[in-house]
Amino acid sequence: MALLQISEPGQSPDPHQRRIAVGIDLGTTHSLVAAVRNGVAECLPDEQGRHILPSVVRYLPPGSAGAGRQIGFDALAAQVSDPANTFSSIKRLMGRKRADVVQVDQLPYTVLDRPGMATVVSVAGEKTPVEVSAEILATLRFRAEDTFDDDLFGAVITVPAYFDDAQRQATKDAAKLAGIHVLRLINEPTAAAIAYGLDHASEGVFAVYDLGGGTFDISILRLTRGVFEVVSTGGDSALGGDDYDRALLTWVLTQTGQTELMNTATPADRAVLLHTARQVKEALSACQDEKQTVAFDAMLSSGEVHFDVNPSNFADATAPLTARTMVAVRKALRDAGLTKADVQGVVLVGGSTRMPVVQRAVADYFAQAPLTNLNPDEVVALGAAIQANQLAGNNPDGDLLLLDVIPLSLGIETMGGLVERIVPRNSTIPTALAQDFTTYKDGQTALALHVVQGERDLVADCRSLARFELRGIPPMAAGAARIRVTFTIDADGLLSVSAKEQGTGIEARIDVKPSYGLSDEQIARMLQDSFTTAQADMQARAVVEARVDADRMIEATLSALRADADLLSAEEQADIARLMDTARQVASTSQVAADIEAATQALAKGTEPFAALRMNRGISRALAGTRIDAI
């Protein structure tokens, strides 16, 4: 007798068949791919048994043997011998213009400014950061497919929490170029929390301190069984292990009286210096004795750089960088409405957290030893693999719920150059939030919408994301139309905006894909300015709002005069004209909201008799020809 195979909706009829889904940590210095095998998340090795893939790509001259490029360890080995064609830390260029990249002139390769995104120059031609990243992602994809001897269904790819819309879109574009179906983008600290939460069934408030090669993220998460809620997030997208290398190098050059060397060195010499700095940093991190020294010994074409460095020297040289991370930690706790005493555990993520100076700073601040149960290099990929396994439908009984947040507020420009926030920063995503707006002038048939990102009250102080128009609004009196603007943010943190006139159903929408991302300075400045300039912003907003109200009152008065000026004597008309002139003069020159409001109020009071006369005329016209008994 044949047996029927019964399966749940969306699952394969074959209970032994599963979709191959992986988690990918696309890092600044190295990348990994992980998958859930036999119920356990694990990183997938290459043929030599190595889990880590250096995030380095070298392009070879046309006609060279092989595929014309080297990826990973092969490219890393050529970083000193061929720095101009060997691209590392490419993640820092994703979705950026050249001017947005910190210390771009110190990179050993050439970066050009191009429309939309900076490019790098190689013997194989110009390459975008998306193309270079796609080479790394494709290598990880092939590793996964070779491991399972099957095609890849999809991947969850991690990004820094502070990646903005353009940087996230660039990451998705790189994955598409590599032939990878992106199941979801998730923030790196969130992925780490998934790995720790599921492996150890931890519950409570946790801080995830993620210091990678090129970025720093801090996230405050509330973990309960199966629910990962990101309460707040912060960090610095221009701070990572690479900066510790440069800080150590700068300190050594200062001690040896060669401070100009980084500016005058050839690309090859610069690569040697940075490579040596990284080796010394790693050696110092392994030192058990604070007085033990490690030789900084770099042989350059112009001579030798030699100096003995001990862990205490390294701590002094990099102290400002470590302090910057702790400033972000304190701010993230303030945003979450928590104190460090509320944090039950601190998770360290990223290879740079192996530095004792970092571990000590974190332990001292939170008064507890951070969690290091999982390999800090691998924990992000492991968490992404757990999420990918569930999204692929391989673990339908799993109770994982992931609640991420957006790092900066989103809103639209209103009259007077003000920002109306629709989605506040640290809002949980995915989400959809809406707000109703109306027209400013009589007969207005179109509405221009300007989407902005930032924490300030004035559009000039925020970053423009997109512009679009809603046309076909029926002519109505000012304020009569009802236009609902909806912001929809998907699970990847990507934004779409729609505007719909409620009466007619006319609608316009746009998927926000900025041409490039926020600069490193902009990210830090936007958040810092929202606090340091809060009082000034409130005053500026009040002035702009008062001016808008004055303009509306003047416009309404002019409209009334055009319709019913005959109700007034010449003297009364002159009095109203003087009040309008005063309101107009004060609104255009005064920087005090109270003065503008007083002038507007004076105009309103001075036109009250005129308004009464207009109302009487309107009533008379409405009742003309009507019998008393019919009323």
State both tokens at 568. Answer: 């007034």
How far is the C-alpha of 568 from the C-alpha of 123, rounded, in Å? 81
Q: How far is residue 606's CA from residue 604's CA, in Å, rounded to a whole number? A: 6
- The helix/strand/coil state of 159 is strand
Instruction: Identify the CA nearest to 21 among candidates 148, 139, 176, 133.
Output: 148
User: Residues for the chain: how many in total?
Assistant: 631
Whole-angstrom CA distances from 325 to 213, 244, 357 are 14, 12, 12
User: Which is catalytic among the residues 82, 188, 229, 242?
Assistant: 188
Identify the residue whose tokens are 């492996």.
199
Query: Checking phi first, is residue 401 left (phi over 0); if not, alpha (psi -120 to 50) or beta?
Result: beta
Q: What amino acid is encoded at 61 in this protein?
A: P
Residue 36 in contact with residue 153, Cβ under 8 Å?
Answer: no
* DSSP string computed for 271-324: HHHHHHHHHHHHHHHT-SSTT--EEEEEEETTEEEEEEE-HHHHHHHHHHHHHH
Cross-strand partners of 34:
23, 43
* Active-site residue, 25 included: yes
- Range list of β-strands (E), 408-559: 410-414, 418-423, 428-429, 431-437, 446-453, 463-471, 483-489, 495-501, 507-511
DSSP code of residue 326: H
The CB density around residue 288, as the number of other CB atoms within 10 Å, is 7
What is the C-alpha to C-alpha distance for residues 284 and 93, in angstroms, rounded to an integer?
29
Q: What angle do CA 382, 384, 385 make, to 5 degrees?
A: 65
DSSP string covering 24-80: EE--SSEEEEEEEETTEEEEPP-TTS---EES-EEEPPTT-STTSEEETHHHHHTTT
Residue 139 identity: T
Candidates 25, 131, 243, 457; catalytic one:
25
The DSSP code sequence of 117-154 is S-EEEETTEEE-HHHHHHHHHHHHHHHHHHHHTS---E
Residue with tokens 């929408």: 509
- Please check whether residue 386 is in contact with residue 198, taking contact to mean a CB–CB distance below 8 angstroms: yes
The two tokens of residue 132 are 């270079």
Comparing CA positions, the residue from 502, 481, 498, 480 lying closest to residue 489 is 498
Closest CA to 87 of 101, 70, 105: 70
For residue 531, the surrounding DSSP H or E stretch is helix 520-532
Residue of 46, 82, 91, 135 marked catalytic:
91
* Tokens at 471, concatenated: 């046309």
Report how far residue 115's alpha carbon sits from residue 195's, in angstroms, rounded to the nearest whole number.
Answer: 39
The yes-or-no answer on residue 91 being catalytic is yes
- Which one of 82, 135, 210, 245 is the catalytic residue? 210
Distance, CA of 156 to CA of 144 (rounded, Å): 13
Q: Is 210 a catalytic residue?
A: yes
Backbone φ, ψ for residue 572 (5° rounding): -65, -40
**Residues known to be catalytic:** 25, 91, 188, 210
